[in-house]
Structure 1
Amino acid sequence: MLTAPLPTLEAWTAHFAAAPIPVLPRTADAMDWLRGREDDLDAHSIAEFLAGDPLMTLKLLSHVATLRRPAFGEDDEVVAETLTAALVYLGVSPFFRAFDTLLTTEELLSGRPEALAGLHDVLSRAARAAVFSLGFAVHRMDADAPALYHAALLNDFAEMLLWCHAPDLALEIRARQRRDPTLRSAQVQMDVLHIRLPELEQALMRTWRLPQMWRRLTDERATTDLQARNVTLAIRLARHTQHGWDNAALPDDIADIAALLNLSPAAAEKKVRDLDSD
């Protein structure tokens, strides 16, 4: 567990790239159940069991992305933008062999209930962002809707890893923001960590060779890319409504979502509330 910030983005990237990625306890339980039924499973059915766990999604996709197909040369990258695609590439039996032992978040954060609660807040927000992103993409008839779902689900994975491997620092960030709600995330991250988490995410995605599409969709500078805007607005909405629908920023979110979906503000608000209640 890190208790003090590392000096550079490169140091943070190397540390997190080498650290184990835990999974949710229910994922570990599901894997035990699925392993006994391996012969009856295909990639799609396995993906349905794993889809709600951003950490397992990250673990699998980062593993598959580093594989090489010798026939295509050393520089060839495996591009799998969804769980199902990653499982199809890897194969059912190799998947179970590669993940025969899983560390859970409860095991990693045993005795740290505050850190575990903080992690669950991020996981819950990510799950809602993914639902919004998928709903927006389906409304826009975007053929890449599954990839946009996964991009939103994993957008805050650096913060998830921070709660897992540097809970004291994550708690310090949360405490400062609670003391001063006007404090911007970018500033408090620089003050406590000496880096910004979005920069760490982009660095880890490059290190793990995650799909270029994900890097584009989660790049906060990609303001004119409609798919990136789809993901960004879903994440904003999930963040601003995490504790209720009375956030002062919500009218601006609804206006931007209405423009993206070509709806009136009233229709856009009904759309997002319906998505949240499904």
Structure 2
Amino acid sequence: MTALSGIDSWTAFLADRDPPVLRHTAQAIASARERIDRINVREIAGIVLHDPMMTARVLRFSAAHRGRRQLQDLSTVEHAVMMLGVEPFFHHFAQLDVIEDHLKPQALLGLLQVIRRAQRAAHFALDWATWRCDLNSEEVAIAALLHDLAEMLLWCHAPDQALQIQALQKADHTLRSADAQSAVLGFPLHDLQAFVCRKWELPELLLTLMDDVWERPRVKNVKLAVDLARHTAHGWDDPALPDDFRAIATLMNIDEETLQVRLGLKKAGEEDARDA
């Protein structure tokens, strides 16, 4: 790729490209196409939501092809597929670039680590939103899934820069992600993501939920899920976890023991059994 300078150039570079998808996603969609007369919208959405890149691709396509009478953004994949229709979905997404075919092993590993983190964040966010009786928990899960979309796009389309950022952070574990990104790119990825998402006309609600503003419970839900996924990426011994647990328990209005049971860190009644 040619050298890019400034956030506008980077926005144009990333926004002009369709995100590639995981090989598993492409295979699952091809298999689902063979059952086109029997498959339903929810099954298709389940395939899409397993892959943050495919999720972004579907929401981008939906926004670009929104009908004139459609006043509201489609902020969930299920609604987007429903409005598009099953047969048109398979027609429009018949040809998909596969991530594993384009990246060298080191860059592929870096991307897959971010995707796995995003999947875990979405799982946490959905569980907590459901517990909180959120009226649309899928929106919260999608916001967590796409929270680090710009980082994924960088690994896909500019792996050399992504590797440079990774090297800086490995050399200095106290270096904040935003500072490492600014050192390599000249700006943090959070800013780039906002520009790309607006270029793609992704739903305003999702942009708000991904913005890390702490005033609203749904935004807290997303932010805390992303934090927990990041802090547990290499195990459950990160020093930030006690603060995470306290904040999550407060959000869910439960005690920390109950939270750790929900997270699978303890079995129900484990503390009582030890105290008896």
TM-score, normalized by the shorter chain, greater than 0.5? yes
**Distance of 1:246 and 1:177 partners within structure 2:** 19
For residues 151-230 of structure 1, the aligned pairs below 5 Å read 151-220=143-212, 222-230=213-221
Amino acid of the structure 2 residue aligned with 1:265? E
Which of 62, 66, 89 is residue 60 of structure 2 equivalent to?
62
Is residue 266 from structure 1 mapped to residue 260 from structure 2 by the alignment?
no
Correspondence for 1:47? 45
Amino acid of the structure 2 residue aligned with 1:138? T
Amino acid of the structure 2 residue aligned with 1:20? D
Is residue 126 from structure 1 mapped to residue 139 from structure 2 by the alignment?
no
Q: Which has the higher contact order (CA 8 A, sep 6+)?
A: 1
Q: Which runs of 4+ in 1 moved over 6 A?
A: none
Give the match's secondary structure for 1:101.
Answer: coil
Amino acid of the structure 2 residue aligned with 1:151? A
Amino acid of the structure 2 residue aligned with 1:114? Q
For residues 96-135 of structure 1, the aligned pairs below 5 Å read 96-109=90-103, 112-135=104-127
**Distance of 1:274 and 1:157 partners within structure 2:** 29
Cα separation, partners in 2 of 1:138 and 1:196, compared to 1, 3 Å: same
TM-score between both structures, scaled by the size of structure 1: 0.91
Give, in angstroms, the shift of residue 274 of structure 1.
Answer: 5.9
**Distance of 1:61 and 1:45 partners within structure 2:** 17
- Provide, for residues 18-64 of structure 1, a one-character-per-residue CA deviation record: whole Å limited to 9, x for no partner: 01310100111112212222122221121122221111111111110
Cα separation, partners in 2 of 1:20 and 1:191, compared to 1, 3 Å: same
Q: What runs of 5+ residues in structure 2 fail to find an aligned partner?
A: 267-276
**Distance of 1:264 and 1:44 partners within structure 2:** 34
**Distance of 1:273 and 1:205 partners within structure 2:** 34
Q: What runs of 5+ residues in structure 1 fail to find an aligned partner?
A: none
Correspondence for 1:16? 14
Give, in angstroms, the shift of residue 217 of structure 1.
Answer: 0.4
For residues 76-95 of structure 1, the aligned pairs below 5 Å read 79-95=73-89
TM-score between both structures, scaled by the size of structure 2: 0.92
Amino acid of the structure 1 residue aligned with 2:97? L
C-alpha RMSD over aligned residues: 1.6
**Distance of 2:105 and 2:141 partners within structure 1:** 29
Give the match's secondary structure for 2:151.
Answer: helix
Give, in angstroms, the shift of residue 206 of structure 1.
Answer: 1.2
Q: Quick one: percent identity of the two aligned structures?
A: 42
> Do 1:67 and 1:78's aligned partners in 2 also have CA atoms closer than 8 Å?
no
